[in-house]
């Protein structure tokens, strides 16, 4: 994935719009991972390199152009889930319990 390309796609308002519009369609697992990464990226203690990777992944998630279009039934969000999962594996050292808890709390409202 060309990370820099998708960093430009990221904006906080676009992220929350995508979450709101596609929460049910995308599924709880995908949404929880993306929200958790959002909280990791917003943490002042998260290294800049991890933030750049996260914003690239979230930019890919909200981008209207990706490998498999999100409107494709069943598999449309599979590539997004793969990108978010790979990003989590890469930045795992920056993920705190508080990030996970905030995401879980947010998910109680949606799933």
Per-residue pLDDT, 15: 83
- CA dist., res. 85 & res. 80, Å (int): 9
pTM (2 d.p.): 0.78
pLDDT band at 78 (very low <50, low <70, confident <90, very high): confident
Q: How far is 54 from 36, CA to CA, in rounded Å?
A: 10
Tell me how far apart the alpha carbons of residues 53 and 69 are, in angstroms, rounded to a whole number.
Answer: 21
DSSP 64: S
In the predicted structure, residue 25 carries a pLDDT above the cut 80? no
Element (H, E) at 110: helix 97-110
Residues above pLDDT 90, as percent of the chain:
45
Q: What are 28-74's pLDDT values in tens digits? A: 888 899 999 999 999 999 999 999 999 999 988 888 665 555 455 45
């Amino acid at each position: 994935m060309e990370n820099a390309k998708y960093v430009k796609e990221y904006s906080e308002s676009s992220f929350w719009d995508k979450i709101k519009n596609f929460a049910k369609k995308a599924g709880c697992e995908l949404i929880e991972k993306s929200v958790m990464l959002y909280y990791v990226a917003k943490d002042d203690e998260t290294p800049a390199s991890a933030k750049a990777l996260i914003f690239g992944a979230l930019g890919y998630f909200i981008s209207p152009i990706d490998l498999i279009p999100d409107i494709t039934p069943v598999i449309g969000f599979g590539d997004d889930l793969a990108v978010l999962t790979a990003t989590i594996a890469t930045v795992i050292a920056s993920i705190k319990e508080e990030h996970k808890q905030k995401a879980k709390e947010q998910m109680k409202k949606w799933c």
